[in-house]
Amino acid sequence: MADTRKAPRIGSLEHGALDAITDVAGVKVGHRTLDAGDIQTGVTVIVPHGGDLYRDKVPAAAAVINGFGASIGLMLVDELGVMETPIALSNTFAFGAIAQAQIGAACRANPAIGRELATVHPLVLECNDGYLNDIQALPVTAAHYDEALAAAAVGFARGAVGAGRGMSMFGVKGGIGSASRIAATRGERFTVGVLVLANFGRAPNLVLDGKRIGPRLVEALERAVAPPESGSIIMVLATDAPLDARQLRRLAMRAGAGLARTGSYFGHGSGDVALAFSTAYRVPHDAASPMPALAMLHDARLDPLFEAAAEATEQAIVDALFCAATVRGFRGHERRAFIEVFPGHGP
């Protein structure tokens, strides 16, 4: 695991023990990295709890800040306010294979799915890693999803791993980043954790902890870099606060504030999508099971969570920037690690 402590500390809020999305109790993350010549890609899976998500769904909601991209599953999330599979992240052309894997896994656990039981709805979000990865080769298979899921753990690598393997940001290497913040509200403490798949941003626009270092980064890169960016960022937010789907949509929207602080202006070609879920309760699939009867957080108490969401998102993006190692891949294309290109920001 990269030493993420090299990265500047963003903001002022307290972070969790790991400064990662897995600080939210029960959440695990797994990667399957494909690293072989022209193939530089992978799968990352975020698991809200250790049970059967189809039978015990978690409340969820999305905020589509810029909908340039593909996704599977957000229509159901919008309508029903729940997710019923783990969240899978991968490259743009892998979602078919991954959706099939999610369907397969759910059907193995619940053989009546699509028959006596309702169908299951995959949940896949993506970014395009076509610069470093031979995306048309369709190297990601259903088995890779299963392996990422099997690898899910509280401790997980960041940077050029899993779905982040082939991603780029601000003209340097991007990938997976994570962070967490503690939100204290009227004597209660909740955790907001974020994991990003960062594949966005043009070098001149980079803002690091408020400093517009983009122009210096452009100089450091020395030469015109690659084609114009058409990247994206997926931002996954987890919290242990009891929020309903409407409130989770509000929380997800705040990821956009964190994103903007790193220099993004929600570019045309960047699919900027945030998805938030809560681990505070579960929604049973079976209508005969008792529904959760707990009090949601009052909306007027959400500000600390909103601030935590924005700050953790910014930190997670910076984390990706500092963790991602240089990768050479498709056709010899290379994205260098930010900390090599711009060592002044190392430790």
Active site residues: 232, 270, 272
CA distance 125 to 116: 28
What's the CA dihedral at 216, 217, 222, 225 to 10 degrees? -140
Among 46, 60, 72, 206, binds a copy of itself (CB under 8 A): 72
Shortest Cβ 199–a copy of itself spacing (Å): 12
CA distance 153 to 165: 18
79 binds a copy of itself (CB under 8 A): yes
Query: Scanning residues 145 to 204, which ones bind a copy of itself (CB under 8 A)?
Result: 186, 204
Query: Scanning residues 308 to 347, which ones bind a copy of itself (CB under 8 A)?
Result: 309-311
Q: Using H for helix, E for strand and C for coil, what is the string for 30-69?
A: EEEEEEECCEEEEEEEEECCCCCCCCEEEEEEEEEEECCC
Where do runs of H (alpha helix) occur along the chain?
74-80, 95-109, 142-150, 214-221, 245-260, 303-323, 338-341
237 binds a copy of itself (CB under 8 A): no
Query: Scanning residues 101 to 130, which ones bind a copy of itself (CB under 8 A)?
Result: 103, 107, 111, 113-116, 118-119, 121-122, 128, 130
Angle, vertex CA 14, rays to CA 153 and CA 294, nearest 5: 70
Binding mask 26-65 for a copy of itself (x = CB under 8 A): --------------------------------------xx
**Please, which residue, 78 or 154, has the CB nearer to a copy of itself?**
78
Residue 326, class by beta-carbon neighbours within 10 Å (0-12 exposed, 13-18 middle, 19+ buried)?
middle
246 binds a copy of itself (CB under 8 A): yes
Shortest Cβ 118–a copy of itself spacing (Å): 5
205 binds a copy of itself (CB under 8 A): yes
CA distance 197 to 141: 19
**Please, which residue, 153 or 212, has the CB nearer to a copy of itself?**
212
Number of residues interacting with a copy of itself: please give it, by CB under 8 A. Answer: 98
Interface stretch with a copy of itself, choices 28-36, 47-55, 147-155, 242-250 (CB under 8 A):
242-250
Token couple for 14:
């307290």
Interface stretch with a copy of itself, choices 91-99, 146-154, 174-182, 193-201 (CB under 8 A):
91-99
Among 210, 219, 334, 343, binds a copy of itself (CB under 8 A): 210
Residue 266, class by beta-carbon neighbours within 10 Å (0-12 exposed, 13-18 middle, 19+ buried)?
middle
Which among 40, 114, 68, 119 is positioned nearest to 328, based on CA atoms?
40
**Please, which residue, 2 or 89, has the CB nearer to a copy of itself?**
89
